[in-house]
Amino acid sequence: MRSVIGEQVFVEEVLESSSPVLVHFWAPWCSVCRLIEPALAKLRSDSGEQVKLIGINADENLKLASSYRITTLPTVLLFQGGKLLHRLDSYQNREELRTVLQEVIPTQANT
């Protein structure tokens, strides 16, 4: 299951993580955000759980959302080694994200 975090633990959970991290910026009022959660969870499961899935409520973490210039929801960011590798604004489907993950964990993402 995904973890929901805030600004206080972002550095530790995302930037200092030894695993790739998918960060899902969402808001309670965003219906598309809720609709894609099962797809994100499935993708994480398909990757052998080598990818960490983190959710961040953009409404409650405005400073963090602003620092990554989040202007649309949902937005999914992929971090590895503390660096932002990919950004998917207005995330729409699992295949789009699977393609991005293939660069990070090619063998698992292809299954």
State the Cα–Cα distance between residues 73 and 53, nearest whole angstrom: 16
Give pLDDT, residue 110. 45
Between 20 and 39, residue with greater pLDDT: 20
Checking if the pLDDT of 30 tops 70, the result is yes
40-97 per-position pLDDT tens digit: 888 778 877 788 889 999 999 999 999 999 999 999 999 999 999 989 887 667 787 7
SS (H, E, C) 59-81: CCCHHHHHHCCCCCCCEEEEEEC
Render pLDDT for 14-29 as a digit per residue (tens, 0 to 9).
999 999 998 999 999 9
Question: Is 98 a residue whose pLDDT tops 80?
Answer: no
**pLDDT mean over 29-42:** 86
Tokens read off for 15: 């930037």
pTM above 0.85, yes or no: no
Residues annotated as catalytic (active site), given as ranges:
30, 33
- Which domains does the chain show, CATH number per domain? 3-109 (3.40.30.10)
Q: Which residues contact 46 (CB under 8 A, 6 or more apart)?
A: 98, 108, 109, 111
